[in-house]
Amino acid sequence: MIELRNVSVKYPGTNHPALSSINLTFNEGEFVCILGKSGAGKSTLIRCMNGLQKPSEGEIYWNGQALSKKNEEQKRHVRREMGMIFQHYNLVPRLTVIQNVLTGMFGYRNTFKNLIGWFTKEEIEQAKQVIDDVGLTDFAERRVERLSGGQKQRVGIARALIQQPRVFLGDEPVASLDPGTSNHIFSLLKELHERHQLLTLINVHDVTLAKRYATRIIALKNGKLIFDGKPGDFTEDLYDETYGADKKTVLSR
């Protein structure tokens, strides 16, 4: 479904590449957790996969087609099939839960309807359904600014889900949450992943969560791939290699 061939990314003004010669293939049904210290290249990897970051070298393939060969409109259609979940939610605080969720439909609608905020009865019903799917039915008309962190992330998941994506991409979606809430969010993501038969790729610092929920773990260090395999094969030595001096902090989260 998604393939990276010899992908490297080097940002202007930096001495070292954010990603270096990455070769990976991801298929429908996989729940992949991407581990690594801050600056390891996790966010750059996610941005490459949804077409927001162009590789300096190499190529990204979506269903066998090179992203670099697509125009901006075609790339927009690809992103429409990728539901993105963010660390800091990227919600509009003064809008209600249902209003925020409905913004996930913007990629399927014309600009004028989006500007005036007009939605059909069917679209509103779809929004109510995904809000129910993430357990926020009683909060649909509540402003997002009045929600807890875990509830806000559920809104973000519902907004991604209403796109009817084939892929869930998460860039540190639980980094701002306490361990108990993080576990609940991962449990919800795994349940939705299985129900909708998605490909899910999540950047995460918490090794315990990764080993509990992932079917596959990727580890990056200084932009390089150092591990790609089953959670049970991610050993103590690999903890050390991935996190070094930060290991104790990561494992205690």
Domain boundaries, given as residue ranges, for the chain: 1-81+168-176+199-253, 89-164
Report the DSSP beta bridge partners of residue 83: 168
Count the Cβ atoms, other than its own, within 10 Å of residue 20: 20
Would you say 217 and 32 are in contact if contact means Cβ atoms under 8 Å apart? yes
Please give the pLDDT value at position 126. Answer: 94
pLDDT confidence tier of residue 214, bands split at 50, 70 and 90: very high
Would you say 68 and 54 are in contact if contact means Cβ atoms under 8 Å apart? yes
Residue 238 has pLDDT above 80, yes or no: yes
Q: What is the length of the chain?
A: 253
Q: What is the pLDDT of residues 151-169, one digit of tens each?
A: 999 999 999 999 999 999 9
Residue 37 has pLDDT above 90, yes or no: yes
The model's pTM: 0.90
Helix intervals (H) in the chain:
42-49, 72-80, 97-102, 111-116, 121-133, 149-161, 179-196, 207-213, 236-243, 247-251
Mean pLDDT along residues 185-203? 96
CA–CA gap between residue 217 and residue 229 (Å, rounded): 6
Q: Residue 61 carries which side chain, given as an amino acid letter?
A: Y
Residue 70 has pLDDT above 70, yes or no: yes
Chain centroid to CA 126: 21
CATH, domain range 1-81+168-176+199-253: 3.40.50.300
Q: What is the pLDDT of residues 51-64, one digit of tens each?
A: 888 999 999 999 99
Would you say 198 and 192 are in contact if contact means Cβ atoms under 8 Å apart? yes
Q: Which residue has the higher pLDDT, 227 or 123?
A: 227
CA–CA gap between residue 117 and residue 102 (Å, rounded): 9
Please give the pLDDT value at position 128. Answer: 96
Residue 109 has pLDDT above 70, yes or no: no
C-alpha Rg value of the chain to the nearest Å: 18
pLDDT confidence tier of residue 183, bands split at 50, 70 and 90: very high
